[in-house]
Chain A
Amino acid sequence: MNEADYKELKKGGMMRQKEAGLFSVRLHVIGGQMTTAQLRAIQEAADRFGRGSVHLTARQGVEIPFVRTDSLAALKESLLPSGVGVGVCGPTVRTVTACQGAFVCPSGVIDSPALADAVDREFYGKPVPHKFKVGISGCANNCMKAEENDIGIKGVAEPRWSRDGCTFCGVCEAVCPTKVVRVSEGGGRVSVDTEGCIGCGDCIESCPTGAMAEGSRGYQLFAGGKFGRIPFLGKKILQVLRTGEEAIAAIEAAVEFFRAHGKPRERFGDTLQRTGFPALEAHIHERMGRKA
């Protein structure tokens, strides 16, 4: 087998091991969700074609190591009925990570698994200048580390204050972790600096009267994050997108921007350092027909 063959296999999720003739086979996992039937299929495949072990990757993936070259096709075949596909590597859109989201987690604001499915459907395995990772956190607690991904999404709950019932007790101001909620001197008004609001919902949850209520839910978009040798935290590009469809459209615009401006083997964050982050923001606004 020559280097080109190995490269092709790697793109298809077959990672060459240190020991010649052995591969660690990466599987296609979306947002860390698997059915027990799929897990059983993986178990059987690992027993039959590997050495009875699996590796859980850093980004919610599963790999079956110690698979011989001549077993690769049979392993892939054996997983087909359970719906478990083989993963990807190389310069492609990688595993989409997600938390359990609003239908399971008490803190969840958005349906992260549903968005992960949609992102996976649209972009998984598609070619880009370099590896491209998307991570989705269902709320501001950010368990999925949005800023470590090339594109990160966070669910946010935006507060809306109304004078009715407000006693100007100051609890909202006291609990705000970013200090963007302000009760005016002597009461009378409560303001929220929406640009600095992280959408955690603490002010809403702790308001004794309900005067600080949930205005709307949305998606915050971060771009340019990575880990590896030289880590870099992604920056917030859009404060809020209203729907999952808008989030998908924004990611599509970001991928398009990366394809247009990214150099081969350059991570999205490095591209954005060259072009400036506002260039991406402007491109997304333009593609979505939004005002910047």
Chain B
Amino acid sequence: MIPILDITGDVCPMTFVKVKMGLTKIASSGKLKVLLKEEALKNVISSLKGEGHKVTRVERQDAAFLLEVEKNGASA
């Protein structure tokens, strides 16, 4: 079961901080799902990419997006 982090109620930079914190609790190559609003998409995905993680799935859910993130997935 992949844990889900809901940041739909947050704005930048808390969106970034929460995702970063969420990933620290996960083992390398482990996965985390992030539920976020459209406004946060660009900053969250670009910072994930910048930190060497990989967005492996994107799902649209009504007014939000659900990302599946593989920790350190881009450097593997």
Contacts and interface: CB of A to CB of B under 8 A. Distances in A.
Interface residues of A, number: 12
Given A167-B58, A169-B58, A208-B55, A174 B46 contact: no
A170 B45 contact: no
Nearest to A167: B58
14 contacts: A167-B58, A169-B57, A169-B60, A174-B65, A175-B42, A202-B42, A205-B42, A205-B46, A205-B49, A206-B41, A208-B45, A208-B49, A208-B55, A208-B56
Nearest to A210: B49
A208 B59 CA distance: 12
Contacts, number: 36
A206 B58 contact: no
B62 to A, nearest CB: 13
B10 interface: no
A79 interface: no
Contacts of B59: 169
Contact of B41 (A167, A175, A209): A175
Contact of B46 (A167, A170, A206, A209): A206
Contacts of B60: 169-170
A171 interface: yes
Interface residues of B, number: 15
B42 A208 contact: no
B51 interface: no
A197 to B, nearest CB: 16
Interface of A: 167, 169-171, 174-175, 202, 205-209
A205 B42 CA distance: 7
Looking at A170, A174, A175, A208, which has the most chain B CB atoms within 10 Å of its CB?
A: A208
Interface in B34-55: 38, 41-42, 45-46, 49, 54-55
Contacts of A174: 38, 41, 65
A16 B6 CA distance: 63
A41 B54 CA distance: 52
Looking at B46, B54, B57, B67, which has the most chain A CB atoms within 10 Å of its CB?
A: B46
A171 B46 contact: no
